[in-house]
Structures are given as C-alpha cells and as structure tokens.
Amino acid sequence: MVAFVAICLGTGGALAATGVFGPLHDVTLQPPANPISCSGLIGRPAGAAIRFFSAHGYSVSWRYQTFGTTVVEPSHPGEPTGVVGGRSTEVERPPHGTVLFDAEIVGGADSKRVIAFAVDRDDPNAPQVQPPRGC
C-alpha cells in the first residue's frame, strides 16, 4: 500500500484552480498526452479500461485512489498550498463503480506496462480531469 500524502498546488504542474481554492473538486487536472490518455478512457468505467488494456496487450498495475479534504496552508508566502488525507492503494482489480482517473505508461512511450488509477465515480473530493493537449 502506498500512502498518498499530498498534492501540492502551484508548483508548475498541470493544475489550475477553477475557483477559490478549496477541496480538490475545485481543481482541474490535465494529464500528459499518451496513447491511453488520448484514447478517451479517462473518466470512463474501469471495466472499459480493463477491456482496452487487455485488447491492446498492456500489463496493468491498478491503484484505487481517494482524495483528502484537509487543506495545508503554506507556512511562508509563495509556498504551494496542498491537500492531505488521500490514499492510493494497490489493488488487483478496480472496485465496482469506479472510473479510470489516470494511467501512466511505465518505461517509455512504447512500453506495454501501465499504472492505472481508479476513483469512485461520485467522489466529491476528486479533481476534474480535462483531455490532454496534443492528442
């Protein structure tokens, strides 16, 4: 099990606040373009992702992810703000009712190894995900 300690905001990543900072559902993520993120699977049921991965010969390591609600205020001006309390747990298969939140190809663009992240479809703390640029 891997503890998902914090997501830091304002560090130059692909995070953009869509309103006043609060729970992560007010944040929008934009994953990097890769064959999986450009496939249209992000946000679809995890079962559709399982079928896609199988049909395309990917070896998948699944993570079930939850998001925290505790805001960490910076101790000095200019430091990033963050949210803690979430978890990323390795699972054999994603739980029923989850959607594909993100998928990272491990070992280069031509690799067939993937780490796939599933979240509850109605997790009120999950950030919104936009399609990647460059697809």
Residue 133 predicted with pLDDT over 90: no
Quick one: pLDDT at residue 41? 92
pTM for the full model? Answer: 0.73
Q: Evaluate whether residue 77 is within a structural domain.
A: yes
Q: Evaluate whether residue 134 is within a structural domain.
A: no
Q: Evaluate whether residue 1 is within a structural domain.
A: no
CB 113 within 8 A of CB 106: yes
Residue 24 DSSP symbol: G
Mean pLDDT of the chain: 79
Residue 44 predicted with pLDDT over 90: yes
61-111 pLDDT, tens per residue?
999 998 877 777 777 787 766 777 788 999 999 999 999 999 999 998 789
The span from the CA of 134 to the CA of 131, in Å, is 9
Q: Evaluate whether residue 49 is within a structural domain.
A: yes
- Number of structural domains found in the chain: 1
Quick one: pLDDT at residue 48? 96
Quick one: pLDDT at residue 80? 63
Q: Evaluate whether residue 24 is within a structural domain.
A: yes
Range of the domain at 90: 6-129
Confidence band for 33, pLDDT divided at 50, 70 and 90: confident
Q: Evaluate whether residue 135 is within a structural domain.
A: no
